[in-house]
Amino acid sequence: MNRVLSIRNLSTSFSTERGVARAVDDVSFDLYEGETLGIVGESGCGKSVTALSILRLIEPPGKIAETSVIEFEGSNLMTLNQSQLRRVRGAGISMVFQEPTASLNPVLKVGLQISETLRAHNSISRATAREKSIELLDLVGIPDPDKRIDDYPHQLSGGMQQRVMIAIALSCDPKVLIADEPTTALDVTIQAQILELLADLRRRLGMSVILITHDLGIVAGIADRVAVMYGGRIVELAPTTDLFSRAQHPYTQALLRATPRIDDQVDRLETIPGAVPPATAWPNACRFHPRCKQRFERCSADEPPLLDVSDSRLARCWLVASERRPA
């Protein structure tokens, strides 16, 4: 399979009153053609900052380390100037955010917001842009697209607004779509519609998708591979079926057991003691060790690298390299 996007040693930090927050710390992964990669983790683990960093959408006081490499279509996005970057954003890699209400301009008709993107990237007439916009609204499953194109965002429901955002993201045929919690603000029946739409579009358009979510259920249904993030780092990376059947990292295991399920009733949910520390104060050594039930001496002394578990599986845990691992 061909690599579409290659991230190497991505680090993004923010200077704050309390010190430097290392929100994303030395993250590396590849995205292959036509695949959906899920990035999961709890608030503050660095998943959204990873997404924004890929498109270099980090504003001061945030800073992407110079040593980071974001390789897309043969060039390192870190070395591009603003006008070159603008061509990549939208036409190469585009993004859908959590809150469609916050991303759409409330005083512009939705059709205009799509045509605007189209005309920024292509030299086409207003009429052609309008025609293409209607096609895009149709593509994302909006009924009566020739009428809805003249609606203002507030005339559409949350689910329909998110479809418009997806239409805008798809307007310039991107190779990669990054969806950052695209369904978190939506009801569960509407979420099911949007997830189905994303899966369908990926198949039809042959894009690669990075889906960022806190919901393990969502990645189980849609992703080919999953990266689990904790403390600004990837702690586990595996094909989806392997991750859910044999999670290797104690954090992934605990997260799965803490998730309530509709097909299973347990008396008590397993909890992970404590909370995620602030990004200004990651523990030295393994970042999860203060909350880990399986920690041993080495965990508080050195931080483990991402270790090979087997083919295409990685976990950042000393247990992987240790004879302490229970068989």
Partner 1 sequence: MTVVDGPLLELKDLVKDYRASSGFFAKADTLRAVDHVSLSIERGESLGLVGESGSGKTTLGRCILRLIEPTSGNVVFDGTDVLSLDPKTLRALRRRMQIVFQDPYGSLNPRMTVGAAVREPIIVHRLASKRDANVRVAELFDEVGLDPSHMDRYPHELSGGQRQRVGIARALSLKPEFIVLDEPVSALDVSVQAQVLNLLADLREGRGLTYLFIAHDLAVVRHVADRVAVMYLGKLMEVAATADTYAEPMHPYTTSLLSAIPQPDPDAQSERIVLSGDMPSARLRAQGCAFFTRCPHPGKNDKCRSKEPPLSEIRPGRFVACFKADDPLRLER
User: Which residues would be at the binding site for partner 1 (CB under 8 A)?
Assistant: 42-43, 157, 159-160, 187-193, 195-196, 214-218, 220-221, 240-241, 244-245, 254-256, 258-263, 265-266, 268-272, 275-276
Residue 240: CB minimum distance to partner 1, A: 5
Residue 78: CB minimum distance to partner 1, A: 31
CA-to-CA distance for 124 and 47, rounded, in angstroms? 36
CA-to-CA distance for 190 and 185, rounded, in angstroms? 10
Q: Give the β-pairing of 93-96 and 176-180.
A: parallel
Contact 166/197 with Cβ under 8 angstroms? yes
Residue 288: CB minimum distance to partner 1, A: 11
The residue (of 123 and 245) whose beta carbon lies closer to partner 1 is 245
The residue (of 271 and 310) whose beta carbon lies closer to partner 1 is 271
The residue (of 7 and 201) whose beta carbon lies closer to partner 1 is 201
Contact 114/156 with Cβ under 8 angstroms? no
The residue (of 66 and 267) whose beta carbon lies closer to partner 1 is 267
CA-to-CA distance for 128 and 132, rounded, in angstroms? 6
Residue 238: CB minimum distance to partner 1, A: 11
Residue 183: CB minimum distance to partner 1, A: 9
For 256, the 3-state DSSP assignment is helix
CA-to-CA distance for 297 and 316, rounded, in angstroms? 16
Instruction: For residue 93, count other CB atoms closer than 10 A to its CB.
Output: 26
The residue (of 116 and 224) whose beta carbon lies closer to partner 1 is 224
